[in-house]
Structure 1
Amino acid sequence: MAIPHEHGGNVFAVARDLGLAPEQLLDFSASINPLGMAPGVREALTASYERLLHYPDKGATELKLALAAYHGCAPDEIAVGNGSTELIHLLPRVFSGRRALVVAPAFAEYALALERGGWQTDYFNLSPADAFALSVDALKERLGEGYDMLFICNPGNPAGNLVPKGDVAGIVDACRECGTFLVLDEAFIDFCEEESAKDLIRTAPRAVLLRSMTKFFGIPGLRLGYALARPETIAAIAAQQDPWNVNTAAQVAGIASLAASEYCHRTRSYIDAERVRFAAALSALPGLEVFPAWANYLLVRITREGMTAGQLREALKGKGILVRDCSNFQGLGTRYFRIAVRLSEENDLLVKSLAAVFAG
């Protein structure tokens, strides 16, 4: 039976069900920068208001120049998308093949994109027993069975595990030897940018790196993502994109976000410290196991008998708090849920609410 393709962050639908305004909900189900948008984004959007009278820049030229400067690459190594999800759905149609391997647990859109493209999807399941660590040797052996495309997210979503750059290099080599096109999704790598494998991937002959600007830069409502790869790979992707796929507001917000270097540093410092504090508070609650993570979210397993993540989600929803039930992720059972790292006082409120639910 196919796994349902669901997502977190459905605040509008939940608010309607509860008869509340979306602002009244505390959303831990979507992993968005708790510090909000970068300074200067609001002003840049306001100043660009009159630009909405015109079509967007079809080539997103200014945004690509800003991204190229940010990453130290050339503009022709970048394709900009309406969120990285647009690019995920393009890839199985742009590049030929029939069998794909997805490292799991994983973002559900990989499988949906492959399914829509007529691909066969298999999974390389990581184990919670060793905190979802990935063995390059085991993955290489599996690729030897004949896969045309590999999807892997780093840090993992929802597990939060990190594949070190040295291991990513081994995966690149394994894909080259096996003739497998590599899709490395770094949607959350901004929170540990020094671990990005962008220089490895953008020079590899059959590979693409996906990045998202919605999580780290806090603009999910604008939908903005991009791909880094060799110019010929980018050209193949761009040839299949719809015209004006990225609107003017998203382009303006992206450029302003990339210029906010102090905001980037402050975000990483805050998340690094608060994630450790939050994880410790959660781990102190009986009935919960918290997995180590490198991004702005934590995967948690319920060890107490008699409660599922779905039941916990509903109990917390009654308190106006949303968490991500992970039971529809390949490789996870009914006891896993994911929570975003938010502001300290909000995280403390979730800990208290969890304690109350488990005490009831």
Structure 2
Amino acid sequence: MKLETRQILNELKPPVHGSAAREDVLDFSTNTYPVELPDDIMAAMINALGDAGRYPDTDSSLLREKISAIFNITPESIVVGNGTSEIIRLAAFCFGKKAFIPQPTFSEYDYSVLLYGGAVVPARILEENDFLVTEDVLGEMPRDTSVVFLCNPNNPTGRAIPKKAMYSFLEETQGKGIMVVVDEVYFELSDSYSLIENVREFKNLVVLRSLTKAYGLCGLRLGYAAADEKIIELLDKARPPWNVNSVAQKAGALCIGHPYIRAVKEMAEESKKKLKQDLNRFPVKIYPSESNFFLIDVMETRYDSASITKILLDKGICVRDCASFPHLDKGYIRVGVKTPQMNKILIEKLGEVLE
């Protein structure tokens, strides 16, 4: 049967993402931190199942009000999505005529732009600068750019854009019809700064946040964006109705501002320090990271990224082969920071391979 489809669907390859498909492995390929949700949040989620026979609030009003109170922005400055990936698609649909994207970075940005018929102008983030997005990289943006996607801290490199360079870039693009989407999904587990309250100052700024990485809700799919009210109005027009289920809305409203997130951040920071110390004993290069994962160059070992990934998987450890990212060859893997107990097993298995 011949189907009439969009030509782009015959040309695009689906993005590659981390996550182990097997339950019998420890998954270091994702950048989430293992979290045991507090009892009050678990109880609220169970209670919300009683609403399964009713449509959820299509505007996620309670969650938006909670977010607005914490960051001192209006509820009308917030849109909630079925994960930040949905909001990336909305931004690409609304503004993605010509996107400027420093790479390597999260593959959903360019995929979403291309899916909706836009053009992508990449800029290479250099290894010689330890994959830091510099002012020179940002300076490669064409004048006719319609949207810029910046992951801060960046995935898969873990690097945060220097604050001075970021603010200079926002000032340069303001008032020129260029939307700047800054993806802060790793903020809660990072050493970086946030721009979320700057949406009042920069009318072309969209800040993405997630309740996946640190809050332990990745299975519920929940994220949000903050921006000027006029920008949110446009994103809202493209958003499907009832896009966030009732359980996710209730859990998110409790998680935002909950004290347990501070404890999670402290545990993750300590775990990260110890993991880096232990990784340094191997003949690999570990790049600086302001986030909860490390990009690792394994080219000085006798393995490439594919082979070391396979060997570790056979030993019950899943890491991210980074060969699918632009400008990263077969010499790079990414390892997420997990609990001390999980990290210890990772180091033991790496030792069996590399020592």
Under a length normalisation based on structure 1, what TM-score does the superposition of the two structures give?
Answer: 0.91
- Checking the alignment, whether the CA contact within 8 Å between 2:34 and 2:338 is kept in structure 1 is yes
* Letter of the structure 2 residue corresponding to residue 77 of structure 1: S
Q: Deviations over 1:315-343 (max 9, x none)?
A: 11111211111111112111111111111
- Checking the alignment, whether the CA contact within 8 Å between 1:105 and 1:331 is kept in structure 2 is yes
Q: 1:152 to 1:34 in 2, by over 3 A?
A: same
- Checking the alignment, whether the CA contact within 8 Å between 1:88 and 1:110 is kept in structure 2 is yes
Find the aligned partners of 1:294 and 1:2 in 2 and give their Cα distance: 32
Find the aligned partners of 1:224 and 1:259 in 2 and give their Cα distance: 15
* Letter of the structure 1 residue corresponding to residue 15 of structure 2: H
Partner SS for 2:174? helix
- Checking the alignment, whether the CA contact within 8 Å between 1:92 and 1:113 is kept in structure 2 is yes
Residues 1:5 and 2:15 aligned together: yes
Q: 1:249 to 1:240 in 2, by over 3 A?
A: same
Identity %: 28
- Please report how far the alpha carbon of residue 204 of structure 1 lies from its aligned counterpart in structure 2 after TM superposition: 1.6
> Partner of 1:336 in structure 2?
332
Residues 1:215 and 2:225 aligned together: no
Residues 1:314 and 2:324 aligned together: no
Find the aligned partners of 1:153 and 1:128 in 2 and give their Cα distance: 17
Find the aligned partners of 1:165 and 1:264 in 2 and give their Cα distance: 24
- Please report how far the alpha carbon of residue 132 of structure 1 lies from its aligned counterpart in structure 2 after TM superposition: 1.4
> Partner of 2:184 in structure 1?
186
Find the aligned partners of 2:205 and 2:257 in 1 and give their Cα distance: 28
Q: 1:38 to 1:7 in 2, by over 3 A?
A: farther
Q: Deviations over 1:247-305 (max 9, x none)?
A: 001101101211422x121122122222121111111112x111111221111110325
Q: 1:173 to 1:117 in 2, by over 3 A?
A: same
Task: List aligned pairs for 1:1-360, cutoff 5 A.
Answer: 5-9=15-19, 11=20, 14-15=21-22, 22=23, 24-95=24-95, 98-140=97-139, 142-176=140-174, 179-192=177-190, 195-261=193-259, 263-286=260-283, 288-359=284-355
* Letter of the structure 2 residue corresponding to residue 91 of structure 1: A
Find the aligned partners of 2:315 and 2:46 in 1 and give their Cα distance: 35
Partner SS for 1:143? coil
The structure with the greater share of residues assigned to helix is 1
- Checking the alignment, whether the CA contact within 8 Å between 2:33 and 2:339 is kept in structure 1 is no
Partner SS for 1:113? helix
* Letter of the structure 2 residue corresponding to residue 250 of structure 1: A
Partner SS for 1:222? coil
- Please report how far the alpha carbon of residue 180 of structure 1 lies from its aligned counterpart in structure 2 after TM superposition: 2.0
Partner SS for 2:323? coil
- Checking the alignment, whether the CA contact within 8 Å between 1:134 and 1:163 is kept in structure 2 is yes
Q: Unaligned 5+ residue runs, structure 2?
A: 1-10
- Checking the alignment, whether the CA contact within 8 Å between 2:35 and 2:214 is kept in structure 1 is no
Q: 1:94 to 1:57 in 2, by over 3 A?
A: same
- Checking the alignment, whether the CA contact within 8 Å between 1:38 and 1:217 is kept in structure 2 is no
- Please report how far the alpha carbon of residue 138 of structure 1 lies from its aligned counterpart in structure 2 after TM superposition: 4.3
Partner SS for 1:40? helix
Query: RMSD across aligned C-alpha pairs, in angstroms?
Result: 1.9
Partner SS for 1:221? coil
Q: Deviations over 1:107-144 (max 9, x none)?
A: 1111110111111112111122222122224413x124
Find the aligned partners of 2:111 and 2:37 in 1 and give their Cα distance: 30
* Letter of the structure 1 residue corresponding to residue 57 of structure 2: D
- Checking the alignment, whether the CA contact within 8 Å between 1:169 and 1:200 is kept in structure 2 is no
Under a length normalisation based on structure 2, what TM-score does the superposition of the two structures give?
Answer: 0.92
* Letter of the structure 1 residue corresponding to residue 104 of structure 2: P
- Please report how far the alpha carbon of residue 3 of structure 1 lies from its aligned counterpart in structure 2 after TM superposition: 7.0
**Comparing 40-49 and 77-86, the one that deviates more:** 40-49
